Amino acid sequence: MKKKLLVGMLILAVAAFLCTFNASTVLAAKKFVSIASGWVVGVYYPLAGAISNIAHKNLPDIKITVESSGASVANAKLIATGDADMAILQNDISFYALQGVKPMFDKPVANIRGITSLYQEHCQIQARKDAKIASVADLKGKRVCVGPLGSGTEQNAMQILEAYGMKFDDFAKVERLTATESSDYLKDGRIDAAFYSVGVGAAGLVDTAMTVDCVIVPVDGGQRDALMKKYPFFTKAVVAKGAYKGVEADVPTVAVMAILAARAEMEDAMAYQITKAIFDNLKDIERAHAKGKELTLESALTGMSIPLHPGAEKFYKEKGIKK
Ligand code: GLU
């Protein structure tokens, strides 16, 4: 009897050991990847969420977590310091990061690599209708949010103003608010206008336009030509009629591309797996936000402003879209 008890205990002990051993090896095998995204009421954040879900469903060894942030400039810096493994950011800002363009960046973000281009982001100046702002020039003397701290939006706001011979100093008040706050400030009349370089249909702008009468201020004419000449990442674009409540005609502006980037230090096999999983599950990206529909294999390299990560490059070579 005693012997049986001993054998039983031994079996239990071995089983318990095996269980812990298995759990710890599984834990050790799981790799954690963080994506620096952007504004909760923007497009980066829901799209990064979709990428995290795709990994959850298809890549058992990889867990992707999503962080919200001011966006492009902040995200490039998180890549540099290794505080993020991946990031979504504008293609103009990723290029400036790689070059170390001052004052945005103290030194080059030498380890930033491309995974894929995502979709077009329009420079949208949303203004309260009662502020009577029909052109960029009318922003003079107004209270304006120029974008969140660390955003690409703030840089684009400066560049657009420069083309119109203006500066932030021309505003009565300059705010750097999160996109959620700038939407609230517009609704309450605490600001007159806000700059956003973001995918058309971003929740923040939709929500503002539903609550208060708003317009989108055009960027056009000779000023737009000058802007595109000086900053070649801008392309001509239109915020289409009906994009938001109250937008009754197409509004000309400029756009950049949103791209997904990774640290050069990410293993090639992992970058390959993530790239492949994204393109194998484009339906999930589309479901996260209407802008996700713009992502296709054919357009994956459109506007890519930085060298590709070798893992992503391998995938594109296999698919024949890169030589
Ligand atoms: N393009 C924006 C920026 O860097 C972020 C947009 C978003 O979060 O969707 O300023």
Taking the centre of ligand 1 as the mean of its atom positions, its distance from the CA of residue 300, in whole angstroms, is: 19
Q: Pairing relation of β-strands 31-36 and 62-67? A: parallel
Give the type of residue at 232.
P
Comparing 39 with 23, which gets the higher pLDDT? 39
Task: Express each pLDDT in 214-273 by its tens digit.
Answer: 999 999 999 999 999 999 999 999 999 999 999 999 999 999 999 999 999 999 999 999
Query: Does the C-beta of 47 come closer than 6 Å to ligand 1?
Result: no
Alpha-carbon gap, residue 94 to 307, rounded angstroms: 10
pLDDT tier at 81 (50, 70, 90 boundaries)? very high
Query: Does the C-beta of 75 come closer than 6 Å to ligand 1?
Result: no
pLDDT tier at 9 (50, 70, 90 boundaries)? low
Q: What is the per-residue DSSP string for 48-81?
A: HHHHHHHHHHH-TTEEEEEE--S-HHHHHHHHHH
Atom of ligand 1 nearest to the CA of 73: 4
Taking the centre of ligand 1 as the mean of its atom positions, its distance from the CA of residue 121, in whole angstroms, is: 8
Query: Does the C-beta of 96 come closer than 6 Å to ligand 1?
Result: no
pLDDT of the residue at 11: 57
pTM, 2 dp: 0.91
Alpha-carbon gap, residue 210 to 200, rounded angstroms: 15
Query: Does the C-beta of 90 come closer than 6 Å to ligand 1?
Result: yes
Average predicted confidence (pLDDT) for the chain: 94
**Which of 152, 9, 14, 18 lies closest to 89, judged by CA?**
152
DSSP annotation of 83 reads: S
Query: Does the C-beta of 34 come closer than 6 Å to ligand 1?
Result: no
Task: Express each pLDDT in 266-316 by its tens digit.
Answer: 999 999 999 999 999 999 999 999 999 999 999 999 999 999 999 999 999
Provide mean pLDDT across the span 175-192: 98
